[in-house]
Each structure stands twice: as structure tokens, then as C-alpha cells.
Amino acid sequence: MTLSFVPGGSLAHRLDPRSKLLVQVGFAVAAYAYTTPRGLALLTLAAVGCLRAADGGARDLWGYRVALPVLLFAPLVAGATVGAPWFRVERAAATGLASYRVLLLLVVAAAYVRSTPVRESRAALQRTIPGRAGVFLGVGVALVFRFLPLLKRDLAASRAAVRSRLGAERSRRERMRLVAVGGLLRAFSRADRLGTALVARCFAWNPTLPRLAFRRVDAPALAFAAALIAATIVRIA
């Protein structure tokens, strides 16, 4: 499953992108304020609800598979010690909870990516952050969302090419070098073509973007985001 927009008619698809961004902000601050197992259990229900609201499932998290081993082994590394007692459970538990918070944030992010077109994300940023800074962030986000799936596809193609040329008989280090070099060459080639295309199309910093408007369907999302932020303020206070 790639990290890209999937057309649909779910509740999350009908929401204004600014509402979804506000939900992500509220969820992020709540995740770092409520660090107990009970708090994370409640946030798990909220994260799963966000993903289901976008008609998503466990398959949508496959796009984050590169980060999953890091989140899994981080508690083991944090708990290990050089000398006795060789492993500290309290350190591993604290790091495990932190890793789980990151995983929940990825779940909410997957719901946003699945339900939000790139142009709407750019429009939301440019109309929320005034001036050239908002335009710059909007362009950056648009390019990342558009080309990250392509770069992942290029890496997969390089890996398949190495495998088809009996790359399995080479050492792991050599295979990694070939895939990395091939992926970087493709990335630079795409960057050059992108620059040429932008110049040829008279790239504008202020293009015509889709109109955004809050509707009744956004009320539950805004209320949910406000509740998360309020609960965080109460927790900190």
C-alpha cells in the first residue's frame, strides 16, 4: 500500500482539510501529554476511529514499514546495559510507550493522507499560514506527497532489477549499494525533469487552488480536535 490519496466517499473524505489538520495537531499534543497505558489505550481507540473514518485499515500502515522495525527494537536497545543487571525493564517500558505513541501518530497521518488530495493539502496550508511562508510550505508538501510514492516505486524497481540480474548471489552490502545508487540516480533524474517541467509550465507561486469551506460535517471533527487540545491543557495544568 502506497502513501497516497485514495478516492472515496467516507466521512474523512468529505471533511475540510483544515479540520483534519487540526485533528492531527490535537492528537499529537494529546499523545505527548497522556503517556500512561490507560491514556494510550484511549488514544488507540481514537486513532483507529480516524483510520476507519477514512475507510482505511491495517494495510494502509504498510507504507510505514521502514519505521516499524525501529519502533519495535527501540525498547530493547534502550533497556540493554553494558554491565549488570544487563537489562533495565523501566527504561524499555518508557521507550516502548514512546514508540507506541509514534505508531499512533502514524495511524492518524495515514488516515489524513488516504483521504486528502494533494491540492487540498496545499490549499489548506497556504490559506492557514499567511505570506510567502505558507506558499513555500504548500509547495513543499505538494511535491513531497506527489513524488514520495514515485521515489518508493523507483527503489522497488532498482531492487527488482538487481534481483533479476542474480543480485542474490552478491553480498548484502553490495546489494544495498546497488539499490541505493540506482535509487539516487532515478531521484536526481526525476528532480531534473521536475525542474524543467516547472519552468516550461511557467510555475507560479500563487496558482488557482480549490475552494475550501467548513460545513456541518466538519463540526464533529472540530469538536474532537478542540476536546483533545482542552484535555491536554487540563493535563498539563
Predicted confidence (pLDDT) per residue in 118-133, tens digit: 888 877 877 777 776 6
pLDDT confidence of 46, banded at 50, 70, 90?
very high
pLDDT confidence of 2, banded at 50, 70, 90?
low
Question: Between 96 and 200, where is the model more confident?
Answer: 96
**What are the residue boundaries of the structural domains of the chain, listed by start?**
11-117+214-236, 129-200
Measure Cα distances from 222 to 13, 14, 58, 101, 135 in Å: 15, 13, 25, 22, 24
Does residue 134 register a pLDDT over 90? no
Whether the full predicted model's pTM is greater than 0.85, yes or no, is: no
Does residue 23 register a pLDDT over 90? yes
Looking at residue 154, what is its pLDDT? 72
pLDDT confidence of 199, banded at 50, 70, 90?
low
